[in-house]
């Protein structure tokens, strides 16, 4: 579960980063299929963020454990 809030004026770079994360989230959530594994979802999210120029900052895996 991720929430992002801005206070003050947002910079162009922060907006680009936010948009990249939102696209990665949307792309990953749209993936469906009986043979789909977590690695495939992580790869899609990572590719989206890397293509946007922020790959070096994506240092964790996609998803969070709850509980």
Looking at residue 1, its pLDDT comes to: 59
Domain extent, residue 49, equals 12-57
- The predicted model gives 24-48 an average pLDDT of 91
Nearest 10 degrees: CA dihedral of 35, 63, 17, 47? -30
Residue 47's SS3 state is helix
Reported confidence tier of residue 67, pLDDT bands at 50, 70, 90: low
Question: What whole-number distance in Å separates Cα of residue 67 and Cα of residue 54?
Answer: 29
| Residue 40 lies inside a defined structural domain of this protein | yes
Residue 50 has pLDDT above 80, yes or no: yes
Distance from C-alpha of 24 to C-alpha of 46, rounded to nearest angstrom: 7
**3 within some domain:** no
Tell me the C-alpha distance between 35 and 12, whole Å: 38
Q: Is residue 67 part of a domain?
A: no
Tally of structural domains, the chain: 1
Residue 20 CB neighbours (<10 A): 21
2 part of a folded domain = no
Does residue 5 belong to any structural domain of this protein?
A: no
Residue 64 lies in a domain: no
């Amino acid at each position: 579960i991720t929430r992002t809030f801005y206070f003050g004026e947002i910079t162009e770079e922060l907006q680009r980063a936010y948009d990249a994360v939102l696209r990665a989230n949307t792309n990953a959530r749209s993936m469906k299929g009986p043979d789909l594994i977590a690695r495939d979802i992580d790869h899609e999210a990572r590719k989206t963020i890397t293509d946007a120029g922020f790959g070096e900052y994506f240092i964790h895996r996609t998803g969070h454990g709850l509980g």
